[in-house]
Amino acid sequence: MKWDLTNYYKSYEDFKKAIQEAKEIINELATYKGKLGIEEDFVKYYEKTLVLQGNYLKVYLYAECSMDLNRQNTAACSDMQEVMFVFQTLSQATAFESPEVLKLGKEYVMNVLDKHENLEQLRFGFENLFRKQSHILNEEGQAILANYQGLSQVGSDAYGSLTNGDITKRYVKYDNKEKVEVSNANWTKLVSESKSPKVRKNVFETMMSQYETHKNTYASIYNSVLQADIAESKSEKFNSSLEMYLFANNIPTSLYLNLIKIAHKASPIVKKYYKLRKQVLGLSSYHTYDRFLELVPDSNKKYTYEDAKELFYDSIAKFPKEFVDNAKEATKDGYVDVYPSTGKRGGAYSNSVPNVHPCILLNFTETLDDCFTLAHESGHSTHSMFSMQNQPTATQSYTIFVAEIASTFNEQNLLDYLLTKGTLTKNEKISLLQHAIDSIISTFYRQTLFAEYEYIAHTKAENGEAITWESLSNIMINLYKKYYGLNIVKENVKQYVWAYIPHFFNSPYYVYQYATSFSASLAIYQNVKEGKENAFENYLSLLKAGGSDYPINLVKNAGVDFTSIKPLEAVVTRLSDLYEELAKAINE
Ligand SMILES: [Zn+2]
């Protein structure tokens, strides 16, 4: 039930020795600056980077696991710092690499790869690098852009200062307590735990008052973010900011627009679900912050870790042997740290680096939710196992675009397994279905609303329209009406939600990625569930492909073509099925 870290290094000394070896390789890499144009040196340089990537990222995994087992263990924390420092020096030591390779040109590089089979695995990475070339300015242009680099960060910094630095503490009367502080970190917990609509309203309005008070300043800051995006995208010869941001992952803008269309198609179901919630919760009016309320009280039925494993294994038993084998291998004793303990990091994750058995951290407390967490993290580890078995070092790591597919797949499958098994109590069933619907809404639907907001705001700015708090609030008011059928003006401060989401200011056009992975996973799952031809084989091909291609191609091979709207309709089907099940369970 505990990690056995000797699976990674036989002894602590071996781990320390590996850090030293990694440092030596990094120092050597630095000496190749200016030499990549010599074929022999080019080959040696990249052979060394592969050794580093393939054998030494393990020190990172080992250090992180040791630290997360007990964060009060100062020795483990300082080992982690040392490892982080080593990898920082790596990026400094190899900063010359990309500019030098770009200068050498595609023809030279591909020619070397043709002659050296051991470097073939780097071809995709190089193609991706050269793909960007048409948007890289000449030296003078790059130097000018670099002069403005610091300026483009000012908006995001100002946002942080205003939201975290210059904030005044705010308090509410909460239940029996006279004065409870409300912060961005605790307001959802306060809202979800209060039975009083008046208290919930007060908590929410108090939290949001920061944004209302400074609405003009927030709008100016956001405008500076939009203007920086416009300047950069124009300089780099993109047609829009959207195109620039999607270009990094080689994603067509049609995907973005298709996501939005699918969300619109799902909207009647979401509205019905909200109506049902309002009715079950007995509320006279429904507010956006009421989404945190549970439809039924927590079930106190316990599931041991053995139960959880058995449920998970049973749920996947119908799938091909190679999938089952890898899922079992991923959850083998010694690779899962199961129970909470003093100093252990909270939450759950799966950790993997190339060529090494992945490991899972849980904080298992015997709830049904924990069973789903096990299935989720096993999905990540299983994906990594398949990637490791089928890909060379350079293409094992996969991107965020595909990362949540296997985990979500396992959760959906476990849910259906439990529903058909018929051993759940009525409340357990309601609670499970509620959480499944809520997670589609929060991961796919709400994020797509935000993605549409970013698209509209950027487009307005690109068309030279004024960006003010009124115009930004109006976008949100219209979107909430369209997506949820809620008039958020009645919530008084909800319209400032555009100022509440830090991603809009820190990393524009980022949130859509939550929605893509999730909807791809649902589409793949529906194909398997409906028994479409080769559905599972196609899914396996995605898991085996690791990071060997652009994400849009990887999911296409798995049967989900994002450039067409059709496969994404699976999201609507799934949402609708779950809603019907929930309505049935409530009336049973
Ligand atoms: Zn995950």
pLDDT(365) > 90: yes
Cα 559 from Cα 567, distance rounded (Å): 8
pLDDT in tens, 427-465: 999 999 999 999 999 999 999 999 999 999 999 999 999
Q: How many whole angstroms from 549 Cα to the centroid of ligand 1?
A: 21
Q: What pLDDT sits at residue 144?
A: 85
pLDDT at 402 (0 to 100): 92
Cα of 383 vs centre of ligand 1, distance in Å, is 11
Average pLDDT of the residues in 395-417: 94
Q: What is the pLDDT of residues 206-254, one digit of tens each?
A: 999 999 999 999 999 999 999 999 999 999 999 999 999 999 889 999 9
Dist. CA 581 → ligand 1 center (Å): 25
Q: What is the pLDDT of residue 151?
A: 85
Q: Are the C-beta atoms of residues 236 and 518 closer than 8 Å to each other?
A: no
List phi, psi (to 5°) of 559: 100, 10
Query: Which position has the token pair 């569930």?
Result: 529
Distance 408 CA to ligand 1 centre (A): 8
Cβ(238)–Cβ(458) under 8 Å? no
Strand partners, 177: 174
Nearest-angstrom CA–CA distance, 561 and 146: 37
Q: Are strands 359-361 and 336-337 parallel, antiparallel or unpaired?
A: parallel
Contacts of 37 (CB under 8 A, 6+ apart): 100, 104, 108
Enter the tokens of residue 564: 């067409």
Report CA(378)–ligand 1 centroid distance (Å): 9
Determine the distance from the C-alpha atom of residue 440 to the mean position of all C-alpha atoms in its chain, rounded to a whole number: 14
Q: Which of 6-10, 270-274, 559-563 has the lowest mean pLDDT?
A: 559-563
| CA–centroid distance, residue 372 to ligand 1 (Å) | 11
Residue type for position 107: E
Q: How many angstroms is it from 405 CA to the middle of ligand 1?
A: 9
Q: Is 182 helix (H, G, I), strand (E, B) or coil?
A: strand
Give residue 409 CA to ligand 1 midpoint distance, Å. Answer: 11
What would the two tokens of residue 568 be? 């994404």
Q: Which of 104-113, 143-152, 351-360, 509-518 has the lowest mean pLDDT?
A: 143-152
Burial per residue of 298-323, b for 16 or more beta-carbon CB atoms within 10 angstroms, e otherwise: ebeeebebeebbebbeebbeeeeeeb
DSSP state of 36: T
Question: How many angstroms does the Cα of residue 29 sit away from the middle of ligand 1?
Answer: 34
Q: How confident is the model at residue 366 (pLDDT cuts 50, 70, 90)?
A: very high
Instruction: Kindly tell me if the per-residue pLDDT of 339 is higher than 90.
Output: yes
C-alpha 58/C-alpha 64 separation (Å) is 10
**CA separation for the pair 579, 437 (Å, rounded):** 7
Least confident piece of the model among 136-140, 351-355, 387-391, 541-545: 136-140
User: How many angstroms separate the alpha carbon of residue 349 from the centre of ligand 1?
Assistant: 7
Give residue 76 CA to ligand 1 midpoint distance, Å.
Answer: 25
Please report, in angstroms and rounded to a whole number, the separation of the first and last CA atoms in the chain. 39
CA of 528 to the centre of ligand 1 (A): 20
pLDDT at residue number 457: 98
**516 C-alpha vs ligand 1 centroid, how far in Å?**
14
Three-state DSSP string of 513-530? HHHHHHHHHHHHHHHHHC
Ligand 1 centroid – CA 278 distance (Å)? 30
**How many CA atoms, within 13 angstroms, populate the side-chain half-sphere of residue 163?**
23
CB 56 within 8 A of CB 331: no
Q: For 116-141, what is the mean pLDDT?
A: 91
Predicted pLDDT of residue 301: 87
Mean pLDDT of 418-432: 91
User: What are the pLDDT digits (tens) for 36-75?
Assistant: 999 999 999 999 999 999 999 999 999 999 999 998 999 9
Are the CB atoms for 517 and 404 separated by under 8 Å?
yes
pLDDT of residue 147: 84
Q: Which residue's entry shows tokens 């094992």?
A: 396
Nearest Cα residue to 136 out of 46, 247, 254, 253: 247
CA of 415 to the centre of ligand 1 (A): 16
State yes or no: pLDDT of 2 exceeds 80.
yes
Compute the distance from residue 105 Cα to the ligand 1 centre, in Å.
38
* CA 267–ligand 1 middle distance (angstroms): 25
CB 542 within 8 A of CB 579: no
440 Cα: distance to centroid of ligand 1 (angstroms)? 14
Question: What distance in angstroms lies between residue 400's CA and the mean position of ligand 1's atoms?
Answer: 10
Indicate the residue type of 516.
Answer: T
Residue 557 burial by Cβ neighbours in a 10 Å radius (0-12, 13-18, 19+): middle
pLDDT the model gives residue 389:
98
Tell me how far apart the alpha carbons of residues 522 and 413 are, in angstroms, rounded to a whole number: 10
376: CA distance to ligand 1 center in Å?
6
What's the gap in Å between 375 CA and the centre of ligand 1? 10
The reported pLDDT for the residue numbered 254 is 92
CA of 514 to the centre of ligand 1 (A): 11
Query: Across all residues in the chain, what is the average pLDDT?
Result: 94
Rounded to the nearest whole angstrom, what is the distance from the C-alpha of residue 560 to the centroid of ligand 1? 20
Rounded to the nearest angstrom, the distance between the alpha carbon of 377 and the centre of ligand 1 is: 6
The 10s digit of each residue's pLDDT in 252-293 is 999 999 999 999 999 999 999 999 999 999 999 999 999 999
Q: What pLDDT, on a 0 to 100 scale, did the predictor assign at position 392? A: 97
Interval between CA 83 and ligand 1 midpoint (Å): 24
Task: Kindly report the backbone phi and psi dihedral angles of residue 178, in degrees, each rounded to the nearest multiple of 5, phi listed first.
Answer: -70, -40
Distance 576 CA to ligand 1 centre (A): 24
Per-residue CA distances from 338 to 72, 192, 443, 463 (Å): 19, 28, 26, 54
Per residue in 136-188, pLDDT tens? 888 788 888 888 878 888 999 999 999 888 888 889 988 788 789 998 889 99
- Mean predicted confidence (pLDDT) in 195-214: 92
Under 8 Å between Cβ of 391 and 546: yes
In the 3-class helix/strand/coil scheme, how is 299-340 assigned residue by residue?
A: CCCCCCHHHHHHHHHHHHCCCCHHHHHHHHHHCCCCCEECCC
CA of 373 to the centre of ligand 1 (A): 9
- DSSP-assigned beta bridge partners for residue 351: 359
Q: Percentage of the chain surpassing pLDDT 90? A: 84
Q: 546: CA distance to ligand 1 center in Å?
A: 16
Residue with tokens 């009060």: 72
C-alpha 384 – ligand 1 centre gap (Å): 12
Task: Report how far ligand 1's centroid is from the alpha carbon of 403 (Å).
Answer: 7
What is the CA(249)–ligand 1 centre distance, in A? 20
Query: Binning pLDDT at 50, 70 and 90, where does residue 538 land?
Result: very high
Q: How far apart are CA 135 and CA 127, in angstroms?
A: 14
User: From ligand 1's centre to the CA of 380, what distance in Å?
Assistant: 7
Find, among 1, 54, 62, 18, the residue nearest to 366 by Cα.
1
Contact present, 365 and 340 (Cβ < 8 Å): yes
pLDDT at 299 over 80: no
Q: Which has more pLDDT, 298 or 69?
A: 69
Please name the helix (run of DSSP H) or strand (run of DSSP E) that holds residue 389, with its range, or none.
helix 368-390
Distance 381 CA to ligand 1 centre (A): 10
- Of the CA atoms within 13 Å of residue 39, those in its CB half-sphere come to 10
Tens of pLDDT, residues 374-393: 999 999 999 999 999 999 99
Token pair 């949130």 is found at 511
Ligand 1 centroid vs 402 CA: distance in angstroms? 11
Size of the chain in residues: 588
Is-contact 379 361, C-beta < 8 A?
Answer: no
Describe the chain by its helix, strand, coil percentages, rounded to 5.
70, 5, 25
**521, 539 Cβ separation under 8 angstroms:** no
pLDDT in the model for residue 165:
82
3-state SS class at 177: strand
Token pair listed for 532? 């479409």
Q: Does 33 score more than 90 pLDDT? A: yes
Label residue 419 by pLDDT band (50, 70, 90): very high
The model scores a pTM over 0.85: yes
Which residues does 164 contact at the CB level (< 8 Å), separation at least 6? none
What phi, psi does 37 have (nearest 5°)? -70, -15
What is the reported pLDDT for 164? 83
CA pair distance 266, 449, nearest whole angstrom = 12
Distance 442 CA to ligand 1 centre (A): 14
Cα 486 to ligand 1 centre (Å):
30
